[in-house]
Amino acid sequence: MADMNTGYFKHDITEAPKSKAVFDLFSLKGKTAIVSGAGAGIGLAAEAGANVAIWYNSNKKALEEAANIEKTYGVKCKAYQVNVATWDAVKDAVDEIVEEFNGRLDIFVANSGIPWEEGPFIDGSVETMHKVFKINIDGTLFSARAAALHWRRQKKEGTTIDGQPLENYSYGSFIATSSMSAHITNIPQQQTVYNTSKAAVNQACKSLAVEWVGFARANTISPGYIKTDISAFIPPTTKSLFKSLIPMGREGETHELKGAYLYLASDASSYTTGTDIIVDGGYCVP
């Protein structure tokens, strides 16, 4: 962290992982991950060996998914209904999960988000604007804050919540799902509110990366057009138009995001913080 008197960063307050073997660096075995919202973060954490807590809002399919993950990967997985737009709900959920999942937290994937579907901002409702900001911005910041309280304590005390030695822990990893819309203006869609919310997420994580130095890392992933429910409302004619603007000529599949999330979740990215990984088939390049 920076010295408040000089503004310069203190020396040698972080350290590299002890293992240099690449598969060891990518392993999440024995770690605990929380994933809010459905998406790429859920399955990959379990595949890499982590115990996973899934957050959902209203889609109770998450309960079935959690049971399937436990059976398939042999890890602990449980679904929780959480309103990410409320600080108390987020903090209570994180605290409950840490107690239930071996007294520790290693990874938080903030994947909850909603789109803007009302066209030009001038014609959309102010109520919807507030809802998008509440979920996309407040929900991300609340999640970051609740997780970081545990990461700071874990790094300082070196123990689980119940006082046991904390093994195989380096730093907390916060990964927020942003969007290429934080970088560009989508064509032909008009979604000023959504673009603004994602740009805020990127800037927040850059700032948190500096504030958290020594106990946690914060990064973002900015997907392009991916085949998910969040883009299901887009008409086929519009999809045809935006495919013409993607050098790779197609929408991405959710599993094509796994590598980016795993990298940032694991010790393989121990020297990576405050960065954003764009996974968009080249949309932002031209």
How does pLDDT run across 2-54, given as a tens digit for each residue?
Answer: 666 677 888 988 888 887 789 999 999 999 999 998 654 456 788 999 999 99
The residue-averaged pLDDT of 71-84 equals 95
Listing DSSP states for 166-184 in one string gives: --S---EEEEEE--GGGTS
Whole-number pLDDT of residue 250: 92
The residue-averaged pLDDT of 268-277 equals 97
Whole-number pLDDT of residue 42: 58
- Output the average pLDDT for the chain: 92
The residue-averaged pLDDT of 171-186 equals 96
Beta-carbon contacts of 236 under 8 Å, excluding residues fewer than 6 positions away, are none
Whole-number pLDDT of residue 228: 80
Least confident of 94-98, 233-237, 247-251: 233-237
In angstroms, what CA-CA distances link 103 with 77, 135, 158, 159, 211?
15, 27, 12, 9, 24
Residue pair 176/220 in contact by the 8 Å Cβ criterion: yes
Give the C-alpha separation, 160 to 154, whole Å. Answer: 7
Give the C-alpha separation, 106 to 266, whole Å. Answer: 9
Give the residue with greater pLDDT, 4 vs 86: 86
Whole-number pLDDT of residue 2: 64
Whole-number pLDDT of residue 4: 60
Closest CA to 222 of 190, 252, 266: 252
Give the C-alpha separation, 78 to 52, whole Å. Answer: 7
Whole-number pLDDT of residue 60: 84
> pLDDT tier at 215 (50, 70, 90 boundaries)?
very high
Give the C-alpha separation, 130 to 202, whole Å. Answer: 19
Residue pair 144/202 in contact by the 8 Å Cβ criterion: no
Whole-number pLDDT of residue 187: 82
Whole-number pLDDT of residue 39: 53
Task: For tokens 């008409």, name the residue.
Answer: 235
Residue pair 217/14 in contact by the 8 Å Cβ criterion: no
The residue-averaged pLDDT of 112-130 equals 96
Whole-number pLDDT of residue 205: 98
Give the 3-state secondary structure of residue 64.
helix
Where b means 16+ CB within 10 Å and e means fewer, 148-184 reads bebbebbbeeeebbeeeebebbbbbbbbbbbbbbbbb
What is 22-279's CATH superfamily? NAD(P)-binding Rossmann-like Domain (3.40.50.720)
> pLDDT tier at 283 (50, 70, 90 boundaries)?
very high
Beta-carbon contacts of 61 under 8 Å, excluding residues fewer than 6 positions away, are none
Amino acid residing at 145: R
In angstroms, what CA-CA distances link 210 with 138, 198, 275, 280?
19, 19, 11, 26
The residue-averaged pLDDT of 148-170 equals 95
Give the C-alpha separation, 180 to 194, whole Å. Answer: 11
- Continuous H helices in the chain: 22-26, 40-47, 61-73, 87-100, 126-133, 139-157, 192-211, 236-243, 258-265
The model's pTM is 0.94
Whole-number pLDDT of residue 54: 94
> pLDDT tier at 58 (50, 70, 90 boundaries)?
confident
Reply yes or no on whether the pLDDT at 251 is more than 70. Answer: yes
Residues classed as catalytic: 179, 194, 198
Give the C-alpha separation, 192 to 167, whole Å. Answer: 45
Tell me how far the alpha carbon of residue 132 is from its chain's centroid: 17
The residue-averaged pLDDT of 62-77 equals 93
